[in-house]
Amino acid sequence: MSSQSLSADSEAGLGVIPPTTTLVLVLAGFVTFVNMWCTQAILPVLAKSLHVSPALTGYTVTAPLLATAAMAPLVGAISDRFGRRVFIRGAALLLIIPTILAAFSTSLGMLIACRFAQGLLLPFIFTVTIAYIGDEMTPASAMRMVGIYTSGTISGGFSGRLIVGFVTALWNWRAGFLVIGLITLAAALIIAFKLPPEKRFKPTLGFSGAVHSFPNHLSNKRLLGTYAVGFGVLFSLVSVFTFINFRLAEAPYHLGPAALGSIFVVYLGGVMASPVAGRLGAKMNRRLLMAGCTGLILAGLALTLASPLWVICLGLLLVCFGVFPQQTLATGFIGVAARGAKSTAVGLYVTSYYIGGSFGGIIPAAAWHSAGWPGCAAITALVQLGMLGFAWKSWRN
């Protein structure tokens, strides 16, 4: 058999994703985000339990975001030198420690420290897994797998809020963290034993070589546009799902922790839409798909301005139908646009993504105090239009 035939057979095999590999990669996304967002629905309960103002408990949400943003480029550089699998497995196992310790926090400062420690570990799973997918699969298969993987991240974000919200309502918030710790342990063991070794990974020349890749990435207009999209994706999610909680906790709704956690069931719309976006992104024009997603989000934001609760929930569902496919399209495009050192390219994307999330919790706050929810919705809409402009210019084939 000729070497050309062997190469063709090898590339064809890369198009088939084994079910076990799919399960492990989905769990990697799930366990990352089940930890990332688990406090968002219980901030009023934390304020009462730890005897602090509700505004200060918001740092339990921003702490892991800031830690992840700071670590992401470093994580990419390290994994470009030493490989992907060892860090994904190790970080998943180590994540159990701060998650369990958070349940025994005696002060807000200790809880924030535990959440920050979680954020330091999470990019070793999230960032490196995307690079692992880009290395081990063909571009078309990687786009499909990123869509499935994104479904795992969405499910984790939804489940973390829902589980902690309900456990807190039944027992207390400490029990909620213990349950998340047990889920993390189960997922980490599966990842540790079932994640396949790399077959196509090629190490770079070391940390300095990875750092030297930063100027190449930052001069790549296609990547810069993708980073801008990532910034806007998490900005939009944090803006919408933080400040809509404030609205729904007030009159006339008066929703409690369990009910606010249940609102995140709309995330399941993103679970369904992301794999579809992954498949379409491998076949269709990404810019047109991005425009469609933006239209859905703008329509959803308009519906959230209405009074009936069911209409607000429908609007949030449309937002999820648009935002999560945007994430799939952006992360899937990194491997196409990056010129080598893909993990550091992903790391810079993750940094931009979580910086966007941090701003999404800060900038709309002023609008909330002056204009309420309509002001927050307007800022989110402007960010979405800006994202579309960046994608339209940088995602040309």
Average pLDDT, rounded, for the chain: 84
User: What token pair was written down for 129?
Assistant: 């897994």
CB atoms within 10 A of CB 142: 27
CB 338 within 8 A of CB 223: yes
pLDDT of 145: 86
Q: Measured at the alpha carbon of residue 328, what is the angle toward residues 324 and 333, in degrees to the nearest 5?
A: 150
Tell me: the pLDDT tens digits for 163-205?
Answer: 999 999 899 999 999 999 999 999 999 999 999 988 877 776 5
The CA distance from 324 to 339, in Å, is: 25
Tell me: the pLDDT tens digits for 211-222?
Answer: 667 777 777 888
User: What token pair was written down for 99?
Assistant: 């998650």
Closest CA to 278 of 317, 233, 328, 213: 328
Indicate the pTM of the whole model. Answer: 0.75
CA-to-CA separations, 48 to 107, 114, 169, 180, in angstroms, rounded: 12, 19, 14, 21
The CA distance from 312 to 244, in Å, is: 9
- CATH fold group of domain 17-196+207-394: Growth Hormone; Chain: A; (1.20.1250)
Domain chopping of the chain, boundaries = 17-196+207-394
